[in-house]
Structure 1
């Protein structure tokens, strides 16, 4: 039997838990590792399991692509040498994410859960856990500097989330390495303003009484917080632009956002907005009129509406003073009067100044 965290010094997973119950859980975990290894090997030997199951496909990647043995000892030692460099590289994301990590931990910390943020390579950059759980999380490697990519740990919440670029939950014996089957990991990817994958948000627990049903209640919270971080990153990157919700369902947390300049041209889009509107999947997008992106008319009636909106904005900013509005639009007062009449806004609102 390979070495496992159960053979290391373990603290209490939760300050109020009985020590005898904790020891019993770890004994059961050790006993289950052999059966888990056999189950993984059977899946790896199957010619069709990977085609039928995303989990089995991840196990296959762990074996074939990364050359990991399900019986090998998981890597626990953090890379503290490069941790500062990684944190500096992820600085803007950390600045936005830190308050969200705090909020999520306030809600989940008393349930024996830890909250982690990793970079796009799966290395833990920041974490939150209760003082009574600190030893357990350290022994599991759920601390800054530890590599949780699939290449390092096989199938796990963080690594598989990043490899498949989607939210995932890996519950206990769904892990690839037998030494990791004592924990549950719930993850969601975080995409930057250019739709590139920049981080993963993770909630992990090593408590045996955290069932799959309990984990499903956390999944929605993790996905929501990841979307909030994405939205805030996008708004910060396009702080000088108008931000429009581009989703069809009106969900403000969907992170489907467009950045629009003063000429009503779309110059930025989140990953979800790109998917919804057929824009470039990643990188800088080709600027497009907002009317084209949203499927509205870009000529004829559309141009008339745009011109009318521009005149109304100028009049509104000038508090109805036609002379000031004309100056702002770069035309004479007489030209603006003619244009207002043509656009049907000659008597747009009571009190328009005729100065």
Structure 2
């Protein structure tokens, strides 16, 4: 790789970060790790018995956390894919983690597609994780040490990796706006999480990477505060995915409140007058509950 001055035949591996420095990097990402932990556990329960290990990195490709079976530990340690290791493209050339972060997309790097010949025994399935500000905060990796790992099996695992990365991203977004109400687009609408965070005045205060792209907002950083209805297109003849999600949320709240509008408004964290306005805009009658 000319860009990074790497030799594909190089046998030596980069040194792992020492324990003290790794602890500092983990502490800097402690909130991210807390949110991701249950999802990593769940994903490993799904793929661990097939010889796969699960890794979570920060935005620079440093491995922060992992789940690995006892029988596979020696293989991954030998490859250098372990906590404290740098798997950015600058360190390892083309590889699942580094290339996923560099290109900001989910991908599969199968065996000899790796840049270094010494990594050709691995199959790596990766997906980026975006933070509440729209920037990449890490990568989720599932790598296999099995020589019989097929490309077809990789594709099956890839769906679970992407779904888990999206769930971590959604959980991190919700945690970033603890007092907000959230509007969700259709779950099957593309590979990115599409969530809007809306305050009690129906002003959009946050948007995931997918929502930013869908509504033409700034790809990263703070977003311009604007009424949710300005983004949701209330004058369109057909409701958007967000409108369908909002309508479903209001109807659920009314149902749980046995049709009591005041209780439904309280459950949604909005005023009684606000919920009546939304019901009128969304075509919801009290009997719809």
Match of 1:268 in 2: 206
**Corresponding position: 1:198 with 2:137:** yes
CA 1:328–1:154 in structure 2 vs 1: closer, same or farther (change >3 Å)?
A: closer
Where in structure 2 are the equivalents of 1:201-220 lying within 5 Å?
A: 201-220=140-159
Residue 134 of structure 1: how far off its partner (Å): 1.2
Q: Deviations over 1:280-315 (max 9, x none)?
A: 1001100111111112249xxxxxxxxxx9xx9xx9
Task: Pick one of 223, 241, 262 that aligns with 1:317.
Answer: 262
Distance in 2 (alpha carbons) for counterparts of 1:156 and 1:250: 28
Where in structure 2 are the equivalents of 1:224-303 lying within 5 Å?
A: 224-247=163-186, 254-297=192-235
Match of 2:45 in 1: 106
Q: Deviations over 1:169-224 (max 9, x none)?
A: 10000001111111111100000111110000000012110011110110100000
What RMSD in Å do the two structures reach over aligned CA positions?
Answer: 2.7
Runs of 5+ unmatched residues, structure 1 = 1-62, 299-308, 320-326, 330-339, 351-355
Match of 1:147 in 2: 86
Residue 64 of structure 1: how far off its partner (Å): 2.0
Distance in 2 (alpha carbons) for counterparts of 1:191 and 1:114: 22
Distance in 2 (alpha carbons) for counterparts of 1:229 and 1:318: 31
Runs of 4+ in 1 over 6 A off after TM superposition: none
Match of 1:158 in 2: 97
Q: Is the 8 A contact 2:261 2:272 kept in 1?
A: no
**Corresponding position: 1:124 with 2:69:** no
TM-score, normalisation: structure 1 = 0.66
Distance in 2 (alpha carbons) for counterparts of 1:175 and 1:318: 57
Q: Is the 8 A contact 1:150 1:159 kept in 2?
A: yes
**Corresponding position: 1:68 with 2:6:** yes
Task: Pick one of 63, 85, 106 that aligns with 1:167.
Answer: 106
Residue 328 of structure 1: how far off its partner (Å): 8.2
CA 1:208–1:250 in structure 2 vs 1: closer, same or farther (change >3 Å)?
A: closer
Distance in 1 (alpha carbons) for counterparts of 2:15 and 2:7: 18
Q: Is the 8 A contact 1:228 1:253 kept in 2?
A: no
**Corresponding position: 1:95 with 2:95:** no
Q: Deviations over 1:127-179 (max 9, x none)?
A: 01111111111111121000000000000000000000000110000001111
Distance in 1 (alpha carbons) for counterparts of 2:73 and 2:39: 20
DSSP 3-state at the match of 1:82: helix
Residue 89 of structure 1: how far off its partner (Å): 1.1
Q: Is the 8 A contact 2:197 2:206 kept in 1?
A: yes
Match of 2:21 in 1: 82
Q: Deviations over 1:26-85 (max 9, x none)?
A: xxxxxxxxxxxxxxxxxxxxxxxxxxxxxxxxxxxxx22101011112525311242111
Task: Pick one of 124, 137, 140 that aligns with 1:185.
Answer: 124
Residue 318 of structure 1: how far off its partner (Å): 7.7
Count of matched residue positions in the alignment of Structure 1 and Structure 2: 250
DSSP 3-state at the match of 2:84: coil
CA 1:212–1:74 in structure 2 vs 1: closer, same or farther (change >3 Å)?
A: farther
Q: Which moved more, 1:66-75 or 1:137-146?
A: 66-75
Q: Is the 8 A contact 2:72 2:145 kept in 1?
A: no
Runs of 5+ unmatched residues, structure 2 = 237-249, 255-259, 265-270
Q: Is the 8 A contact 2:203 2:228 kept in 1?
A: yes
